[in-house]
Homo-oligomer: A and B are copies of this chain.
Amino acid sequence: MTTTTTTDGTTTIEAPADLPVIRMTREFAATPAQLFRAHTDPELFVRWMGPQDSTLEIDQWDPRTGGSWRYTGEHGGHQYAFHGCFHTVREDRIVWTFTFEGIPDGVCLETFTFEGLDGGRTLLRSDSVYESFEDRDGMLSSMEPGVNDGYAQLDRLLAAGEV
């Protein structure tokens, strides 16, 4: 088990040696319902997801079990896009597939859960299962700035009462 803590000290990222999985945990000053909204409301989602100074645009967004999604992004002059389908959408759990269109046949399966804690806080867990260790390790090496920035942006939206 390789465990990393992100540079801003708030998110724990685990990459087990025996499973091609990335596990992240992070607490938020939010209710589970607010975290669910942040992950499913398209207008909120584009305001926090991704690296700072990136711009996201929703192309397709149908956040229900059996729906699908696609968004495009721009960061530092680079264009990119992601898409997938929503396998499960529940107040406490979202499962979706995730493809970065730069690697069109690559896909991972991601599960997000929102667990209420004392003091009005919520533990977000995300588990991403990749098809190989190579795919997992490729993502692991590049994801951290986007994760840090995105969750910090979500913290700010929550603190501002905008979620």
Chain A residues packing against B (C-beta within 8 Å):
18-21, 60, 65-68, 83-88, 93, 95, 97, 99, 105, 107-109, 111, 127, 129-133
Partner among B85, B93, B99, B131 whose Cβ is within 8 Å of the Cβ of A129: B131
- Residues of B close to A65: CB separation below 8 A: 68
Is A87 touching B105 in the complex (CB atoms < 8 A)?
no
Q: Residue on B with the closest CB to A62?
A: B66
Chain B residues with CB below 8 A from A129, complex form: 20, 109, 129-131
Known pairs A19-B20, A85-B87, A87-B84; A105 contacts B93 (CB<8 A) = yes
A20-B19, A85-B85 known; A97-B109 Cβ under 8 A: yes
CB A67 to nearest CB in B, in angstroms, measures 8
Q: Specify which chain B residues have a CB less than 8 angstroms from the CB of A130 in the assembled complex.
A: 129
* Cross-chain pairs A/B with CB under 8 angstroms, 10 sampled: A19-B133, A20-B20, A67-B68, A68-B85, A85-B85, A85-B87, A95-B107, A107-B111, A109-B131, A129-B129
Write out the residue numbers on chain B whose beta carbons fall within 8 Å of the beta carbon of A93.
105
**CB pair B85 A19 closer than 8 Å:** no
* Contact between chains at B105 and A107 (CB < 8 Å): no
**In the bound complex, what is the Cα–Cα distance between A133 and B84 (angstroms)?**
25
| Extra A-B contacts (11), CB below 8 Å, given A19-B20, A85-B86 | A19-B133, A20-B20, A66-B83, A87-B107, A88-B107, A93-B105, A95-B97, A109-B109, A127-B131, A129-B130, A129-B131
